[in-house]
Amino acid sequence: MPELERIDGIIYRIHFEEHGLPHYHATKAEFAVTIDIHTLERIAGMMRGKDLRKAQQWGLDNQDMLMARWKEWTER
């Protein structure tokens, strides 16, 4: 799973072996969430409110790139 970016201790990844709903993963310390690329809603996991909002904003700022990568990796 390639690391897309690391900001403020939050690591952003897409697990290329996963399929289904387009999503990305954000982890910080012992916290990890899965976030829907389209709606930016938390699908699974837990993260502190401030960090979750940062992870969702990062997703919004990078939505086009995330969808392009998702399609590239899952349509192989």
User: pLDDT tens digit string along 36-58?
Assistant: 999 999 999 999 999 999 999 99
Q: How far apart are CA 24 and CA 57, in angstroms?
A: 13
The predicted model gives 2-17 an average pLDDT of 91
pTM over 0.75: yes
Other C-beta atoms within 10 Å of 18: how many? 15
What pLDDT is stored for residue 5 in this prediction?
Answer: 96
Predicted confidence (pLDDT) at residue 75 exceeds the cutoff of 90: no
Please state the φ and ψ torsions of residue 45, each to the nearest 5 degrees. 90, 180
